Amino acid sequence: MENGTSNGSTGGAACCNGNGAVRGPHVAMLATPGMGHLIPLAELAKRLASRHGATATLITFASTASATQRAFLASLPPAVTSLSLPPVDLSDLPRGAAIETLMSEECARSVPALTSILLDLKRTTGGRLAAFVADLFGADSLDAARAAGVRRRCIFFPTNLHALTLMLHLPELDASVSCEFRDLPEPLRLPGCVPIPGPDILMPLQDKANPCYRWMVHHGGKYRDADAILVNSFDAVEPGPAKILRQPAADHRPVVYPIGPLIHADGREDDKDALCLEWLDRQPARSVMFVSFGSGGALPTEEMRELALGLELSGQRFLWVVRSPSDEGAVNDNYYDAESKKDPFAYLPEGFVDRVTATGVGLVVPSWAPQTKVLAHAATGGFLTHCGWNSVLESLVYGVPMVAWPLFAEQRQNAVMLSDGVGAALRVPESSKGREEIAATVREVMQGEGKGAAVRAKVAELQKAAAEGLRDGGAAATALAEVVEGWTTTGGQEEED
């Protein structure tokens, strides 16, 4: 087991008695592959430590033991330690298997090893192991927690209440919807949710013949084995499903607790940050459109070129994190490795980088930028985003209006909810992502024209609501306190046969 070192961003570890013995609860937390899963789970662990005197062990998979992940885990405070599951053989899976299939198979095949780890944690924590928390693709790991006698077993859902509602209804939808979701004649209407057109429904559900579809149905059913579901969202951004999911359910689904937003605000200085932040320091307030498709997203070459020309045509300042295109694979090919495989600048329109650099209107950086620092910067006035939920929450926390350009996973569904529902984003027209449409949408948000004014006002409202929910006595803080109270009153004891 590796101990993290303090990064100064979280106060407090587990509470101690006069003899120095730890007396707070211990929580084991399983993060399925992807930094987008690990980071919010780690933020939950840090919040449990700083506000509730808990300690935590983050359990990761061997397939994601990258230098980036190791550095992140090493940055965590002493109350949050980490360990990795042993590798499992996935060589029997077909080449090109969906990410959701790979993650689900790896988790299911790791249940015996995870059971042993949890039994060891019960011994080494002196009986303080009060709960086990798995993220959304780790539903099968609840079996390991049950086998190890961990009394409180929870799902941490790092995306939103709309996606959770879909997952909870998925077994019945699987039985009642005979066609492909993309072929539904009308938008899907779920309790409290914004209607979602068939083609925008969660990407792993778009092909029922793909094994990942069956895995998603499986997870939706297994969620009901949990005692509670913790969701990285907040009521104000999803009032409809928040109200519904708080109500007692006839089908005895787990209690749902919106505890977000949980975001990673990295306070460390890094040499790689300097170029972006120094350039932003020279720009006027709220004048820059930040363009990034997350840690795993990439565009096809043609869309990449149209985006470049659209940004230039818009006349707005921009900071663009660009990656090599996805023509030879899927738009999520970078999921396990965010670094571009080839020089991304070579795929941009001829002379583009030289022109925007010479005029000072834009900065193009390869592969990576310090996203939370960019969004928090006074010069940033908009965010063209893939609508990954971590990025959405970061944008709302820092009050940055969005332009939605979804790629994969639940991102298209998020884009519908943000643009058609809550009104915190404008979506680039799906039918024609040409330079003129891109330029017009960017200008509308940056200059507050047309619908852009309403988007800016709504984002400011949600920024305030998010901050209020996290304060002592706020909705998110109270929800997490209720969860911990349930752990400490029943946790840490062997489950009865």
Inter-residue long-range contacts of 298-304, CB under 8 Å, 24+ positions, other chains counted: 298/323, 298/324, 298/325, 298/326, 298/331, 298/333, 298/334, 299/325, 299/326, 299/331, 299/407, 300/325, 300/326, 300/327, 300/331, 301/325, 301/327, 301/347, 303/433, 304/347, 304/348
DSSP states along 378-406: TTEEEEEE---HHHHHHHHHTT--EEE--
Give backbone dihedrals phi and psi of 197, rounded to 5 degrees, phi first: -60, 145
- Whose tokens are 């790092």? That residue is 158
Contact (CB, 8 A) for 250 and 226: no
Contact (CB, 8 A) for 211 and 137: no
Q: How far is CA 351 from CA 100, 300, 345, 347, in A?
A: 39, 19, 10, 11
DSSP states along 248-292: --TT-PPEEEE------------GGGHHHHHHHHTSPTT-EEEEE
Give backbone dihedrals phi and psi of 494, rounded to 5 degrees, phi first: -65, 140
Of the candidates 179, 445, 434, the one whose C-alpha atom is nearest the C-alpha of residue 307 is 434
Residues 6+ positions from 21 with CB-CB distance below 8 Å: none
Of the candidates 170, 159, 190, 390, the one whose C-alpha atom is nearest the C-alpha of residue 258 is 159
Q: Is the dihedral of CA 379, 384, 387, 388 positive or negative?
A: negative
**Distance from first CA to last CA of the chain, Å, rounded?**
30
Rounded CA separation 490/497 (Å): 16
By annotation, the residues acting in catalysis are 37, 135
Contact (CB, 8 A) for 402 and 455: yes
Cis before 261 (ω within 30): yes
HSE value, Cβ hemisphere, 13 Å, CA-based, for 146: 10
Contact (CB, 8 A) for 332 and 297: yes
Contact (CB, 8 A) for 348 and 306: no
